[in-house]
Amino acid sequence: MTSLEITKKRIELHELCTLIEETFRREGCDDANSRAVAQTLLKAERDGATSHGVFRLPGYLASLRSGKVNGHAKPKIDVTAPSILRIDGDGGFAPLAHQLLLDPLERITRSQGIAMAAIQNTYHFSALWIELEMLAERGLVAFACTSYKPALPPAGGKKPLYGTNPIAFAWPRTNNPPLVFDQASSVVARGEVMLAARDGRQVAAGIGIDPDGLPTTEPEAILKGALLPYGGYKGASIALMVELLAGPLLGECLSIEAAKRDNNDGGPPRGGEFILAISPERTCGSSRYLDHAEVLFSAMLSESGVRLPGDSRRRKRTKIEESGVEIEDYLLSILHGKK
């Protein structure tokens, strides 16, 4: 037996979903929250996005056990202006808030042409593409961003100030799943640097700086220093925009404030999420936008080596839906209530 067979087991997706739901119920979450979080974790596993899947389960559970996250959260939605939905997540994980906002956000977007969802008081611990894909599957164009805890310095600086601050964008398609990209403002995710530190590997140049602000390829030095934004000052501008959109604009916190109030239990900090939804029929006046965008996608794909964003995720989906997913034994132990 190889070490892979020792440490992982293959499991069907529907079985995994049941195990996740039961785990959250056992940890004191109500049915609605258990189901919503399970579906979000399952979508990450289904698309091979392992780092956002059950790999995060220990962090989720730590935040329930520390009392930071409300497992019985009842998100409350208010229409604060004709095109603005404000969602108070009631201190719970973000997935239930996302499920509850889909219908009203779609309705308002179709009637107003464009709408914004301002999510406050939730704990976002997954990828943004999950909620954006659900909106684009309903025919809407969507954009989202969220901040976190400080990881990136501003342009010209050395001290972490911005979160890794991802943005995501989704575009609906007729005979294909939506085009979705979701990217952090850092060159690489913090998790990749942590894995390199664990394994004693150097990382590539240009990923981070040490506490003195000097370039380094030592993962430990970067974890004490800072990650770098992609594209220099331009990526830093994106991270700054995200701080403002997901923080002050929504009445939620900045990354530096999130870090101060977080109890560092291993789960996510409390924060805000900015979601924008647009009805393309109302902006272009017909359904022509669908074929029109395909002109661009075809031009992209006419060159060898070019793929559409999200394509590799969707290729993995097809395979995993057929044959299930491999889960590490220590995570299966948690899922079976043995830890």
**Touching its own copies, residues 282-311 (CB under 8 A):** 282-286, 288-290, 292-293, 295-296, 299-300, 303, 305-307, 309
Q: Which of 67, 176, 201, 249 binds its own copies (CB under 8 A)?
A: 249
Looking at this protein, which amino acid is placed at residue 207? I
Looking at this protein, which amino acid is placed at residue 285? G
Is 51 tagged catalytic? Answer: yes
* Site residues (CB under 8 A) for its own copies, limited to 102-131: 111-116, 118
Of 35-43, 51-59, 219-227, 237-245: span binding its own copies (CB under 8 A):
237-245
The Cα 325–Cα 320 span in angstroms is 6
Q: Which of 51, 66, 287, 333 is catalytic?
A: 51
Is 52 tagged catalytic? Answer: yes
The residue among 7 and 283 lying less far from its own copies, judged by its C-beta, is 283
Residue 241 near its own copies by CB under 8 A: yes
- Smallest gap from residue 124 Cβ to its own copies (A): 18
Residue 175 near its own copies by CB under 8 A: no
Site string for its own copies, 146-165 (x = CB under 8 A): -------xxxxxxx-x----
Residue 37 near its own copies by CB under 8 A: no
* Site residues (CB under 8 A) for its own copies, limited to 46-105: 80-84, 86
The residue among 154 and 211 lying less far from its own copies, judged by its C-beta, is 154
Of 89-97, 216-224, 243-251, 318-326: span binding its own copies (CB under 8 A):
243-251
- A 10 A CB-CB count for 194 gives 14
Q: Which of 21, 34, 45, 52 is catalytic?
A: 52
Helices (H), the chain: 3-7, 13-26, 31-46, 57-65, 94-112, 129-137, 190-199, 219-224, 233-246, 255-261, 280-284, 288-301, 311-323, 329-335
Q: Which of 22, 27, 137, 192 is catalytic?
A: 192
Is 192 tagged catalytic? Answer: yes
Residue 205 near its own copies by CB under 8 A: no
Distances in Å between the Cα of 168 and the Cα atoms of 56, 131, 143 are: 20, 10, 6
DSSP secondary structure, 6-48, as one string: HHEEEE-HHHHHHHHHHHHHHTT--HHHHHHHHHHHHHHHHTT
- Smallest gap from residue 183 Cβ to its own copies (A): 5
Burial of residue 293 (number of CB atoms within 10 Å: 0-12, 13-18, 19+): middle
DSSP state of 287: S
Residue 315 near its own copies by CB under 8 A: no
Tokens read off for 164:
């890794």
CA 56 to mean position of chain CA atoms: 12
Give catalytic residues, as residue numbers: 51-52, 192
